Amino acid sequence: MNWPNRMVATAHRRLIRYAAVGFAISFGLCLMLFATWKTVHPLWLAYREPVTERQEFKPVMATSWRKIDWREALHVEPTSSSQALPWFDPRLAPVNEPQNFPYQRGTVGNSWFDYSPVDPGSLLPSTKFKWKRGLSITGSDSEQMIGWHGTLHSHTGWSDGTATPAEAFAFARDKGGLDFFAVTDHPEAWFFNPGRTWEALQKTAESAGDSNFVAIAGFEYSNPVFGHYIVIGSNGVCSAVKCPDLSDFYEWLLRPENQNALVAFAHPLVQRDNAGRFEFRQMQYLPALQKQMFGMEVIHWSGHDQFMFGFTGKKPFIDEALAKGWMPGPLGSQDNHGPNWGLANSRIGILAKTLDRESVMEALRARRFYATSSRDLELSFEIRTPGQPWVQMGGTVTTNKNRRNSNLRASIEPQVQTRIRLFEPDEYNVPRRVEWILDGKIVGRLDFESLPNELSSQSSNEKYYAGEILGSFPESRISDGSRHYIYARIFMAHDFMTYAQSSPVIFTP
C-alpha cells in the first residue's frame, strides 16, 4: 500500500474509532439521564403540597346496629339439582353436598377451607367455600339478591401477562373460584401478533362460560399520557395507537355500535409518568358518557390506601370524579399479570338474582356493586328519604327542595335513613369501623370496640358476622337544590386493612 492510501486508511480507522467512542459516550449519557429521570421523577410526582383539609370528619349522623341471625341475613333455599353450584353451604347437612363434589373439607384451627386431594394447587385460600344463598338486602319491598364475586381487570400472554385467555378463564373459574371474570389485555400489543384479535377473544369468552361462571371479553385502553381505562361490552377495540388523544377514545365509545359498552377509570396515578396533570384530564366530565362510565378502581392488587387522596391530595380519586359529575361505582382489581387469576382477595361483588351475562352487565350498568378485599363479603347499602321506598346503592334519588326548613330542630327534622347489611363468613375479617361519606366528607362513623361478639353469631362449628347497621341524617343536608352523593365504606380485620366500599347513591334536585 502506497503512502497516500495508507494515510486514507488510517484516517478512516480513526474516524470509525472516534465515532464508536462518541456513540458509547452518548449512549452512556442517555442511559444516565434516563436512570436519573426514573429515580427522581417518581419522587417529584409523589410530592404533595401540605394541605390543612383532607377528609373532614363532621359527625351529623345518628348511628346504630343490631345483630341478626344468618337466617335473617341470608335467604336460604334448599339445595336441589337445579342449583348444582360447584360449592355447598357448610351450614347445611352434608347430605346436601352436590353429587361428585370435587373437594374435601380441611381445617386450620377454627378456620376451614376446601381442597382437592389430586390437585395440590387447590390448597390456596382461593378455594374457600362460597355462601351463595342470597343476601336479604331489604324487607318485603325488594327482591332477594345474591352477592356474586368477580374481577374485571386481568392480563394474559396476549399482552404483558402470561398464558392464553382460555387458560386464564379456566383458572379463574376452576381455581380462582370467581363467579365472573374479564380478560382485558392491552390491544396495543396485538398489531404484530397474528391471531390476537377481538373476535378471537370474544369466541374464547363465549366457550369458557357456563351456568356457574360468566366469562367476559374486554380490553384496557393504555395511553401513556391520558391514563388507562377498562372497557367491556364494546364492539371492537380502540388502542392508544388508534385513538391517541382522549377525545378520540371518548368519541369512539360514543359511536352507536358501542352504546352498550361500559368503561371504568383504571388505577389512578399508579403510572406516574404523566404526573397526574393529564391523566383522565383531571376527571374532565363528559355528560354524554356518564351512563357508560360505570366505575373506578379503589382497590388495586390488594391496596386501597393509595387511592384515598386524589389529584388534589384532599379526598379520594372517586370523590373527585363524583364531584365533577361522574357516577362511578368502586372497583376492586387484581390486575393479574401472572398465572394467578382470582387468587388475590380484591374483587367486586354485584347484587343480582341470577348469574348470567345479562344479569352481570345489568348490575354493573346500575352500579349495584361494591369493591372489597374480603373474598366472600356480601354487602348492601340502601337509602330512604321521607315517604319514599328504599333505594339500593348505585341508584338515584330526586330530592324535594320545598321540604327544607331551617327553623326545624334536628330532632324533629325529616331524616334520610341509611341501611347497611353485611354478611362476612371469614372470622379474621372482623368488621371494625363503618364510615358514611357525604359529598367527600365523613359525616358518620361507627366503631366496634368490643368485637368479635357484637356482630358475630356462633354455634358449635360456626363463626360469622351478620349485622344491620343504620344511620340517619337531616334531609336538609341534601335538599338545597344541588347534587349530592353518599356511600359507605367498611374497615375490617385487626389492622383495618381489609376494606369494602359501596357504590354511591346520587341525590339530584
Q: Which of 77-91, 135-149, 306-320 has the lowest mean pLDDT?
A: 77-91
Task: Check residue 300 and give its pLDDT.
Answer: 92
DSSP state of 83: G
Looking at residue 188, its amino acid is E
Q: Which residues pair with 348 in a beta bridge?
A: 150, 371
Question: Average pLDDT, stretch 407-413?
Answer: 57
Q: Which of 97-106, 285-294, 400-409 has the lowest mean pLDDT?
A: 97-106
pLDDT confidence of 193, banded at 50, 70, 90?
confident
Residue 88 has pLDDT above 90, yes or no: no
Please indicate, yes or no, if residue 57 is contained in any of the structural domains. no
Assess whether 122 and 182 both reside in one domain. Answer: no
Return all residues near 463 (Cβ < 8 A) that are at least 6 apart.
110, 427, 452, 456, 457
pLDDT confidence of 267, banded at 50, 70, 90?
very high
Closest-CA residue to 328 (of 280, 373, 376): 280
Residue 86 has pLDDT above 70, yes or no: no
Q: Are strands 293-300 and 329-333 parallel, antiparallel or unpaired?
A: parallel
Task: Check residue 296 and give its pLDDT.
Answer: 98
Distance between CA atoms of residues 173 and 102, nearest Å: 14
Assess whether 99 and 146 both reside in one domain. Answer: no
Please indicate, yes or no, if residue 257 is contained in any of the structural domains. yes
DSSP state string for 379-444: EEEEEE-TTS--EETT-EEE--GGG--TTS-TTTS-EEEEEEEEEE--TTS-EEEEEEEETTEEEE
Distance between CA atoms of residues 116 and 468, nearest Å: 36
Task: Say if CB 494 and CB 507 are below 8 A apart.
Answer: no
Residue 205 has pLDDT above 50, yes or no: yes
Please indicate, yes or no, if residue 167 is contained in any of the structural domains. yes
What is the tens place of the pLDDT at every residue in 45-78? 444 443 434 555 666 777 666 555 444 444 333 3
Cell 387522596 maps to which residue? 309
Please indicate, yes or no, if residue 52 is contained in any of the structural domains. no
User: Residue 308 burial by CB count (10 A; 0-12/13-18/19+): exposed, middle or buried?
Assistant: middle
Residue 261 has pLDDT above 90, yes or no: yes
Task: Check residue 507 and give its pLDDT.
Answer: 97
Q: Are strands 484-492 and 498-502 parallel, antiparallel or unpaired?
A: antiparallel
Distance between CA atoms of residues 207 and 204, nearest Å: 5
Task: Say if CB 470 and CB 64 are below 8 A apart.
Answer: yes
Distance between CA atoms of residues 375 and 361, nearest Å: 21
Q: How many domains does the chain have?
A: 3
What is the tens place of the pLDDT at every residue in 320-373? 999 999 999 999 999 999 998 998 999 999 998 889 999 999 999 999 999 999
Residue 1 has pLDDT above 70, yes or no: no
Assess whether 114 and 147 both reside in one domain. Answer: no
CA distances 3 to 7, 8, 17, 187, Å, are 6, 9, 21, 61
Assess whether 368 and 332 both reside in one domain. Answer: yes
Assess whether 17 and 107 both reside in one domain. Answer: no
CA 479 to chain CA mean position, Å:
30
Domain residues for 90? Answer: 77-127
Residue 148 has pLDDT above 50, yes or no: yes
Structure-block grid coordinates of residue 427: 372470622
Torsion of CA 461, 462, 463, 466, to 10 degrees: -170
CA 153 to chain CA mean position, Å:
9
Assess whether 66 and 22 both reside in one domain. Answer: no
Task: Check residue 150 and give its pLDDT.
Answer: 96
Distance between CA atoms of residues 123 and 108, nearest Å: 12
Please indicate, yes or no, if residue 54 is contained in any of the structural domains. no
Please indicate, yes or no, if residue 502 is contained in any of the structural domains. yes
Could you write out the three-class secondary structure of 169-227?
A: HHHHHHCCCCCEEEEEECHHHCCCCCCCCHHHHHHHHHHHCECCEEEEEEEEEEECCCE
Task: Check residue 134 and give its pLDDT.
Answer: 38
DSSP state string for 11-47: HHHHHHHHHHHHHHHHHHHHHHHHHHHHHHHHHHHH-
Question: Average pLDDT, stretch 261-270?
Answer: 93
Residues of the chain with pLDDT > 90: what percent?
A: 42
The mean pLDDT of the chain is: 77
Task: Say if CB 148 and CB 355 are below 8 A apart.
Answer: yes
Buried b / exposed e over 273-286, threshold 16 CB at 10 Å, is ebebeebbeebeeb
Distance between CA atoms of residues 332 and 216, nearest Å: 16
Return all residues near 323 (Cβ < 8 A) that are at least 6 apart.
439, 440
Residue 505 has pLDDT above 90, yes or no: yes
Q: Which of 324-328, 375-379, 484-488 has the lowest mean pLDDT?
A: 375-379
pLDDT, greater one: 404 or 251: 251
Looking at residue 363, its amino acid is A
Return all residues near 260 (Cβ < 8 A) that are at least 6 apart.
233, 234, 361
Assess whether 19 and 166 both reside in one domain. Answer: no
Please indicate, yes or no, if residue 237 is contained in any of the structural domains. yes
Structure-block grid coordinates of residue 227: 391514563
pLDDT confidence of 175, banded at 50, 70, 90?
confident
pLDDT confidence of 83, banded at 50, 70, 90?
very low
Task: Check residue 5 and give its pLDDT.
Answer: 61
Q: How many CB atoms lie within 10 A of CB 114?
A: 20
Question: Average pLDDT, stretch 474-503?
Answer: 92
Residue 262 has pLDDT above 80, yes or no: yes
Question: Average pLDDT, stretch 100-105?
Answer: 48
pLDDT, greater one: 94 or 5: 5
What is the tens place of the pLDDT at every residue in 269-306? 876 655 567 899 889 999 999 999 999 999 998 788 88
Task: Check residue 209 and give its pLDDT.
Answer: 94
**DSSP 3-state percent helix, strand, coil across the chain (nearest 5):** 25, 30, 45
What is the tens place of the pLDDT at every residue in 208-237? 999 889 999 999 999 988 999 999 999 999
Task: Check residue 224 and give its pLDDT.
Answer: 87
Assess whether 101 and 185 both reside in one domain. Answer: no
Q: Which residues pair with 416 in a beta bridge?
A: 473
Assess whether 3 and 112 both reside in one domain. Answer: no
Residue 147 has pLDDT above 70, yes or no: yes
Residue 11 has pLDDT above 90, yes or no: no
Assess whether 201 and 239 both reside in one domain. Answer: yes
Structure-block grid coordinates of residue 219: 380490553
Assess whether 120 and 242 both reside in one domain. Answer: no
Task: Say if CB 447 and CB 430 are below 8 A apart.
Answer: no
pLDDT confidence of 122, banded at 50, 70, 90?
very low
Residues of the chain with pLDDT > 70: what percent?
A: 69
pLDDT confidence of 456, banded at 50, 70, 90?
low
Length of the chain: 509
Task: Say if CB 175 and CB 340 are below 8 A apart.
Answer: no
Assess whether 119 and 139 both reside in one domain. Answer: no
Look up the CATH number of the domain holding residue 468: 3.20.20.140
pLDDT confidence of 376, banded at 50, 70, 90?
confident
Distance between CA atoms of residues 357 and 232, nearest Å: 12
pLDDT confidence of 123, banded at 50, 70, 90?
very low
Q: Are strands 227-232 and 262-265 parallel, antiparallel or unpaired?
A: antiparallel
Question: Highest mean pLDDT: which of 7-21, 139-153, 478-492?
Answer: 478-492
Residue 311 has pLDDT above 50, yes or no: yes
Question: Average pLDDT, stretch 176-183?
Answer: 93
Please indicate, yes or no, if residue 55 is contained in any of the structural domains. no
